[in-house]
Amino acid sequence: MTEPNITDSHCHLDFPDFDGQHDEIIARAARAGVHRMVTICTRLRNEPQVRALAEAHPEVFYAAGTHPMSAAEEPMATVAELVALARHPKFVAIGETGLDYHYTADSAEVQKQSLRIHIQAAQETGLPLIIHARAADDDMARILTDGFRTRPYSCVMHCFSSSADLARAALDLGFYLSMSGIAAFPKSQDLRDIFAAAPLDRILVETDSPYLAPPPHRGRRNEPAYTAHTARRGAEIFGLDYAGFAAQTEANFERLFPKVVACRADS
């Protein structure tokens, strides 16, 4: 029986973990029902390699930005640079960007500057913003809200594993929460409760591969095919059958990433 279609809304296919294996990885994903994926460039100097992956594979789309943990090491992105990259037909989002004070709190001010630049690029292009948030909930909620009040934009809180307060702040702005393998970990009941309280039409699924593989693959390299394991747990969280949950997350993804739909229509 054919698996329902789902989308891995966030992976890192350019990472060395996947070198020379892209055809096999995409084929395994397809067998699991993962019919498309968004691969994320986290350092703008690597954008050409990430773009090439999207150009080589019809199932792959891409986004680019400066990851907050790299913000102090990389040249500061400019709005013009991000807007120029966004002209590519398979470039579908800005980021990932955000704030991470868990390991890199010493670069907090640089991270905030970078985040504001990425917000402006999302506002200029109309593309969704992809946010990484860890141990920075208050600053994150304030900066996202201030930017939205200046000029509305769309956004996904990728690999959401922060507080219920940050979830509410994001949802109040009309943003989306993306469910990663963390939501399927046995000790993640508090996180599952946050997702269960969120509107179903604001939920995405992702791997963040090669990281955070869900059970039964936890502790091993993650890959887009494993989105299906997280999505099955998501169906349980929302009391749906798998096909129903898959269809809803597909509709959510296409609402947030309309450029993916437009690209498919043009191909």
Does residue 116 lie in a domain region?
yes
Domain that holds residue 203: 6-266
Does residue 140 lie in a domain region?
yes
One-letter amino acid of 263: C
Bridge partners (DSSP) of residue 28 are none
For CA atoms 71, 75, 76, 80, give the dihedral sign: negative
252 closest CA partner among 179, 188, 194: 179
- Residue 209's CATH number: 3.20.20.140
Per-residue pLDDT of 160-177, as tens digits, reads 999 999 999 999 999 999
- Number of structural domains (the chain) is 1
| pLDDT, mean of residues 215-236 | 96
Distance CA 177, CA 155 (A): 9
| pLDDT, mean of residues 12-20 | 95
Per-residue pLDDT, 2: 82
R_g over Cα of the chain: 17
Does residue 108 lie in a domain region?
yes
Per-residue pLDDT, 263: 81
* Cα 258 → chain centroid: 15
Distance CA 250, CA 255 (A): 9
Model pTM score: 0.96
Beta strands 155-157 and 176-179 are parallel
Does residue 193 lie in a domain region?
yes
Does residue 1 lie in a domain region?
no
